Amino acid sequence: MTVTNETLKIIKQRRSIRSFKDEQIREEELQAVLEAGLYAPNAGDQAWHFTVVQNKELLDRLNLAAKEAATQLDIEHLKQMGNNEGFNCLYGAPTLIIVSGDERSPVPLDADCAAATQNLLLAAESIGLGSCWIFFVLLAFYSQQGSELRKELKIPEGYRPYSSAVLGYKKAAVVNVQERKPNLITYIR
Protein backbone atom coordinates (compact mmCIF):
# COMPACT_ATOMS: atom_id res chain seq x y z
CA MET A 1 0.00 0.00 0.00
CA THR A 2 1.34 3.43 -0.96
CA VAL A 3 0.61 6.29 1.41
CA THR A 4 -0.25 9.53 -0.36
CA ASN A 5 -2.08 12.78 0.19
CA GLU A 6 -2.18 16.28 -1.30
CA THR A 7 0.94 17.45 0.59
CA LEU A 8 3.01 14.49 -0.60
CA LYS A 9 1.82 15.07 -4.19
CA ILE A 10 2.88 18.74 -4.02
CA ILE A 11 6.31 17.78 -2.65
CA LYS A 12 6.83 15.30 -5.50
CA GLN A 13 5.60 17.58 -8.29
CA ARG A 14 7.45 20.80 -7.29
CA ARG A 15 10.20 21.71 -9.75
CA SER A 16 12.53 24.67 -10.05
CA ILE A 17 11.02 27.02 -12.62
CA ARG A 18 13.34 29.21 -14.68
CA SER A 19 10.88 30.71 -17.15
CA PHE A 20 8.20 33.12 -15.93
CA LYS A 21 5.45 35.26 -17.37
CA ASP A 22 5.90 39.03 -16.97
CA GLU A 23 2.68 39.32 -14.96
CA GLN A 24 3.07 40.07 -11.23
CA ILE A 25 1.58 37.55 -8.79
CA ARG A 26 -1.57 38.54 -6.92
CA GLU A 27 -1.27 40.00 -3.41
CA GLU A 28 -3.30 37.20 -1.83
CA GLU A 29 -0.98 34.60 -3.39
CA LEU A 30 2.07 36.45 -2.05
CA GLN A 31 0.55 36.63 1.43
CA ALA A 32 -0.30 32.90 1.41
CA VAL A 33 3.29 32.02 0.47
CA LEU A 34 4.76 34.35 3.11
CA GLU A 35 2.47 32.96 5.80
CA ALA A 36 3.68 29.44 4.97
CA GLY A 37 7.26 30.66 5.39
CA LEU A 38 6.43 32.06 8.82
CA TYR A 39 5.17 28.66 9.95
CA ALA A 40 8.40 26.81 9.13
CA PRO A 41 10.12 24.87 11.91
CA ASN A 42 12.89 26.81 13.60
CA ALA A 43 15.23 26.64 16.56
CA GLY A 44 16.03 30.33 16.52
CA ASP A 45 12.78 31.68 17.91
CA GLN A 46 11.69 32.81 14.43
CA ALA A 47 14.88 34.85 14.08
CA TRP A 48 14.31 35.47 10.39
CA HIS A 49 13.11 38.31 8.22
CA PHE A 50 11.54 38.15 4.75
CA THR A 51 12.24 40.90 2.23
CA VAL A 52 9.89 40.94 -0.77
CA VAL A 53 11.22 42.65 -3.89
CA GLN A 54 8.79 43.31 -6.75
CA ASN A 55 10.40 46.46 -8.16
CA LYS A 56 11.77 45.57 -11.62
CA GLU A 57 14.55 48.17 -11.52
CA LEU A 58 15.77 46.86 -8.17
CA LEU A 59 15.54 43.25 -9.35
CA ASP A 60 17.69 44.20 -12.36
CA ARG A 61 20.22 45.93 -10.09
CA LEU A 62 20.42 42.88 -7.80
CA ASN A 63 21.07 40.68 -10.83
CA LEU A 64 23.85 42.96 -12.09
CA ALA A 65 25.46 43.30 -8.65
CA ALA A 66 25.42 39.50 -8.17
CA LYS A 67 26.98 39.00 -11.60
CA GLU A 68 29.65 41.59 -10.80
CA ALA A 69 30.52 39.79 -7.55
CA ALA A 70 30.60 36.42 -9.34
CA THR A 71 33.27 37.67 -11.75
CA GLN A 72 35.57 38.26 -8.78
CA LEU A 73 35.32 34.68 -7.48
CA ASP A 74 37.80 31.86 -8.01
CA ILE A 75 34.94 29.51 -8.89
CA GLU A 76 35.09 29.18 -12.66
CA HIS A 77 31.46 28.25 -13.41
CA LEU A 78 30.16 31.18 -11.28
CA LYS A 79 32.65 33.51 -12.95
CA GLN A 80 31.38 32.37 -16.37
CA MET A 81 27.78 33.00 -15.32
CA GLY A 82 28.73 36.46 -14.10
CA ASN A 83 30.37 37.27 -17.44
CA ASN A 84 27.42 35.97 -19.48
CA GLU A 85 25.47 39.04 -20.64
CA GLY A 86 22.35 36.98 -21.33
CA PHE A 87 22.24 35.36 -17.89
CA ASN A 88 19.68 36.67 -15.42
CA CYS A 89 20.03 34.96 -12.05
CA LEU A 90 16.37 35.73 -11.26
CA TYR A 91 15.18 34.24 -14.55
CA GLY A 92 12.87 37.18 -15.19
CA ALA A 93 10.65 36.34 -12.21
CA PRO A 94 8.54 39.28 -11.00
CA THR A 95 8.95 38.52 -7.27
CA LEU A 96 12.00 37.78 -5.15
CA ILE A 97 11.87 36.85 -1.47
CA ILE A 98 15.12 37.15 0.48
CA VAL A 99 15.24 35.22 3.76
CA SER A 100 17.63 36.78 6.28
CA GLY A 101 18.54 35.52 9.73
CA ASP A 102 19.46 37.36 12.91
CA GLU A 103 23.19 36.79 13.35
CA ARG A 104 22.83 37.38 17.12
CA SER A 105 20.76 34.23 17.46
CA PRO A 106 22.45 31.57 19.64
CA VAL A 107 21.66 28.82 17.10
CA PRO A 108 22.83 28.51 13.48
CA LEU A 109 20.26 30.18 11.25
CA ASP A 110 21.08 28.67 7.89
CA ALA A 111 18.88 25.66 8.68
CA ASP A 112 16.01 27.83 9.92
CA CYS A 113 16.18 30.03 6.83
CA ALA A 114 16.38 26.94 4.61
CA ALA A 115 13.26 25.47 6.25
CA ALA A 116 11.41 28.77 5.72
CA THR A 117 12.51 28.85 2.08
CA GLN A 118 11.32 25.28 1.53
CA ASN A 119 7.92 26.24 2.96
CA LEU A 120 7.79 29.21 0.55
CA LEU A 121 8.53 26.93 -2.40
CA LEU A 122 5.99 24.28 -1.43
CA ALA A 123 3.29 26.86 -0.76
CA ALA A 124 3.95 28.46 -4.15
CA GLU A 125 3.57 25.10 -5.89
CA SER A 126 0.40 24.30 -3.97
CA ILE A 127 -1.33 27.42 -5.36
CA GLY A 128 -0.02 27.07 -8.91
CA LEU A 129 2.94 29.47 -8.80
CA GLY A 130 6.34 28.69 -10.20
CA SER A 131 9.34 29.09 -7.91
CA CYS A 132 13.08 28.58 -7.80
CA TRP A 133 15.52 28.62 -4.89
CA ILE A 134 18.21 31.14 -5.83
CA PHE A 135 21.71 31.23 -4.37
CA PHE A 136 23.39 33.38 -7.01
CA VAL A 137 21.54 36.62 -6.19
CA LEU A 138 22.95 36.55 -2.64
CA LEU A 139 26.33 37.35 -4.17
CA ALA A 140 24.97 40.89 -4.68
CA PHE A 141 25.52 41.48 -0.95
CA TYR A 142 29.24 40.83 -1.45
CA SER A 143 29.52 43.29 -4.34
CA GLN A 144 30.63 46.90 -4.10
CA GLN A 145 26.95 47.86 -3.76
CA GLY A 146 26.32 45.25 -1.03
CA SER A 147 25.91 47.56 1.98
CA GLU A 148 23.89 50.05 -0.07
CA LEU A 149 21.58 47.25 -1.24
CA ARG A 150 21.10 46.02 2.36
CA LYS A 151 19.95 49.52 3.35
CA GLU A 152 17.72 49.96 0.30
CA LEU A 153 16.13 46.56 0.91
CA LYS A 154 15.64 47.45 4.58
CA ILE A 155 17.29 44.27 5.78
CA PRO A 156 17.35 44.72 9.56
CA GLU A 157 20.64 45.57 11.24
CA GLY A 158 22.40 42.39 12.37
CA TYR A 159 20.57 40.20 9.84
CA ARG A 160 22.33 38.30 7.07
CA PRO A 161 20.69 37.08 3.83
CA TYR A 162 20.89 33.28 3.90
CA SER A 163 18.59 32.20 1.10
CA SER A 164 16.13 33.46 -1.46
CA ALA A 165 13.46 32.32 -3.86
CA VAL A 166 11.82 33.77 -6.92
CA LEU A 167 8.10 33.44 -7.62
CA GLY A 168 5.91 33.98 -10.64
CA TYR A 169 3.48 32.41 -13.05
CA LYS A 170 4.99 29.54 -15.04
CA LYS A 171 5.42 30.10 -18.77
CA ALA A 172 4.85 26.41 -19.42
CA ALA A 173 3.46 23.45 -17.53
CA VAL A 174 6.16 21.24 -16.04
CA VAL A 175 5.77 17.52 -16.58
CA ASN A 176 9.34 16.22 -16.45
CA VAL A 177 9.77 14.45 -13.13
CA GLN A 178 13.20 12.87 -12.86
CA GLU A 179 13.55 9.53 -11.19
CA ARG A 180 15.29 9.75 -7.84
CA LYS A 181 18.76 8.20 -7.62
CA PRO A 182 18.87 4.73 -6.09
CA ASN A 183 20.67 3.86 -2.87
CA LEU A 184 20.09 7.19 -1.08
CA ILE A 185 18.48 5.60 1.97
CA THR A 186 20.01 3.27 4.55
CA TYR A 187 17.72 1.48 7.01
CA ILE A 188 18.95 0.32 10.40
CA ARG A 189 16.12 -1.36 12.22
Q: What does the pLDDT look like over 13-35, one tens digit per residue?
A: 899 999 999 999 999 999 999 99
- Residue closest to 140 by CA, chosen among 76, 32, 62: 62
Give the separation between CA 140 and CA 127, rounded to whole angstroms: 30
Burial of residue 15 (number of CB atoms within 10 Å: 0-12, 13-18, 19+): middle
Model confidence at 156, pLDDT cuts 50, 70, 90, reads very high
pLDDT digits (tens, 9 = 90+) for 61-85: 999 999 999 999 999 999 999 999 9
Q: Specify burial of residue 138 (Cβ count, 10 A radius: 0-12, 13-18, 19+).
A: buried
pLDDT band at 180 (very low <50, low <70, confident <90, very high): confident
Query: Beta partners for 160?
Result: 101
User: Can you tell me the distance from the alpha carbon of 31 to that of 86, in angstroms, rounded to the nearest whole number?
Assistant: 32
Q: In this structure, which CATH number among 3.20.20.80, 3.30.70.20, 3.40.50.450, 3.40.109.10 belongs to the domain 15-168?
A: 3.40.109.10
Element (H, E) at 63: helix 56-70
Query: How far is 52 from 96, CA to CA, in rounded Å?
Result: 6
Q: Please give the average per-residue pLDDT across 5-10, as a whole number.
A: 93
- Identify the pLDDT of residue 107: 78
pLDDT for res 164: 98
Q: Where are the domains of the chain?
A: 15-168
Q: For residues 139 and 142, give the distance between their C-alpha atoms in angstroms, rounded to a whole number.
A: 5
Question: What is the Cα–Cα distance from 166 to 133, expressed in whole angstroms?
Answer: 7
Compute how many other C-beta atoms are within 10 angstroms of the C-beta atom of residue 54. Answer: 15
Give the 3-state secondary structure of residue 49: strand
Helix or strand (DSSP H, E) at 146: helix 146-152
